[in-house]
Structure 1
Amino acid sequence: MIHYHGTPISPRSILTELHGKHFCVSHAHPNDIAKCCEIGQSVMLDNGAFSKWKAGKDTDFNGYVDWVEEWLWPANWCVIPDVIDGDTKDNDRLVRSWPFKRQSAPVWHMNEPTSRLVGLCRDWALVCIGSTVMYGDPGSLRWHQRIDEAFNDLAKTFRRIPPLHMLRGMAMSGQEYPFASCDSTDIARNHNRPQNGARKMADKWDGQQCPGRWELRPLQQSMKPLGQPADMS
């Protein structure tokens, strides 16, 4: 599992301390992009839809395209624009109009049909999973049941679970779901606490891995809620 550490991370000396790590840079807060591309193994280019949605702003589709065009270096990848409160037609329209067919990942929202997730996994090398208001409490029984259902349907369709990225999903590190990657702004928000340090936090997260396979799970036997609070920011 690859852990993408969200930015902005300040001061700049702390960001530089994380050289060799993987980073997530949002189009809504792009100031660290050049430095992350300079020192990081790879960079996830986030469309910033969630931040802009919370701020009541529309996604600048053309501006995001131009930004991705500049920073979609060989090791990097980008999240295809999505509509947080839209329907599947809105999001499918954005996926179809996206000009970069490689190094790009569409978003499946957990309130959408799992058939859409299966279809996206057929067409794209990586698919992101995004929580919604209905499934906004990772670790809850409802959240586990929905993710169990999604992984069950994927396991029935594919020989191996396709690569999946859990958006704001660092809390899933070391858990039972075979995610390929995740991201979080945990370090950006909490590195200045006395007991923390940016490099120490990154190493701890990076050392927590997920299993490589999924066994079909009866939905009525879904996992109980996790014992620790989930950090999905």
Structure 2
Amino acid sequence: MIKYHGTPIGGSKTDAVQALTGRFGLVPYSRPDQLNIVLQYCKGFVLDNGAFSDWRKGYTEYRDYNGYTAWVEKLQEHPRFHWAIIPDHIAGTEAQNNAYLKRWPAHLKGVPVYHMHQPLERLLWLAQNYEIVALGGGNGYEVLKSRAWWQRIREMMDIVCDEFGRPLCQLHGLRMLDPKVFSLLPLASGDSTNVARNSGQAARFAGTTATTRGERACLIADRIEALDSARYWRREGRQTSLLDSFYNVAQAA
């Protein structure tokens, strides 16, 4: 499983270089602050359209489709470019998001997003028509690892995996670099801003040798990368028990 670490990483340029060197990065269109560091030091990278930021600000449409595609077209020439998230709207309708897919230039390597409130039939259609599908939140599923979130994940995996638990396409988990999530799902890749957010909380690292933000970022990233995703999806039995167990632990914390 490839883990893409979201940028920008806080602290100095030295901290960011230390955190990202030899890893995989994600650069959002809305915050390309550390694009040059990612291009120079990461093993590979993906581009994010920044729709999550737009959604949190209350926008109901993706604001700069043409600007984003021009940005992707330029960066696609880089030898370590992997792919870009096709513009989407987290709370948008199926028709709205399908319209964004139709606008996407065929020569750009783009990945569609399935939002959890959308019909499961759309997820199946995406998996049958794209090499990679990104799985994101949606209306009613904003809280990662909530009971509703896990229940929907079960339904999604049952639809998008074959009888042996193998996904019909490569699956990418948006904001899913929590080991308690990706270790149970057959993801090919995932991303999050865990490193960027949590490396700034120095108090959490008391008693460790990580004194700089770069060192703290490396410690978080190393812990994430020490584990891998599940080889396949288990529909019943142990998998269900594990999901319920993780939910109950989170609720008790």
TM-score when normalising by structure 2: 0.82
Inter-partner Cα distance in structure 2 for 1:226 and 1:182: 24
1:63 correspondence with 2:71: no
Equivalent residue in structure 1 for 2:173, among 166, 170, 173:
166
1:199 aligns with 218
Inter-partner Cα distance in structure 2 for 1:177 and 1:148: 10
1:227 aligns with 249
- Amino acid of the residue matched to residue 135 of structure 2? I
Q: Give me the identity figure in percent.
A: 33
Equivalent residue in structure 1 for 2:157, among 133, 151, 154:
151
CA 1:136/1:56 → structure 2, altered by over 3 Å: closer, same or farther? closer
1:130 correspondence with 2:136: yes
CA 1:37/1:157 → structure 2, altered by over 3 Å: closer, same or farther? farther
The alpha carbon displacement at 1:74 in A equals 3.8
* 3-state SS of paired residue (1:4): strand
Inter-partner Cα distance in structure 1 for 2:66 and 2:163: 35
Q: C-alpha root-mean-square deviation of aligned residues, in Å?
A: 2.1
Inter-partner Cα distance in structure 1 for 2:55 and 2:163: 33
1:2 aligns with 2
Alignment of 1:87-106 (within 5 A): 87-101=93-107, 103-106=109-112
Inter-partner Cα distance in structure 1 for 2:248 and 2:25: 26
Inter-partner Cα distance in structure 2 for 1:133 and 1:24: 24
1:34 correspondence with 2:36: yes
Contact kept, 8 Å, 2:135 with 2:174, in 1: the verdict is: yes
- Relative to its length, the structure with more helix (as a share) is 2
2:235 aligns with 216
Q: Bigger radius of gyration, 1 or 2?
A: 2
Question: Relative to structure 2, which stretch is displaced further, 49-58 or 133-142?
Answer: 49-58
2:146 aligns with 140
State the 4+ residue runs in structure 1 displaced beyond 4 angstroms.
Answer: none
Deviations 1:3-48 (A, max 9, x none): 1111111321111102010111100101211220111111110000
CA 1:159/1:226 → structure 2, altered by over 3 Å: closer, same or farther? closer
TM-score when normalising by structure 1: 0.89
Contact kept, 8 Å, 2:73 with 2:108, in 1: the verdict is: no
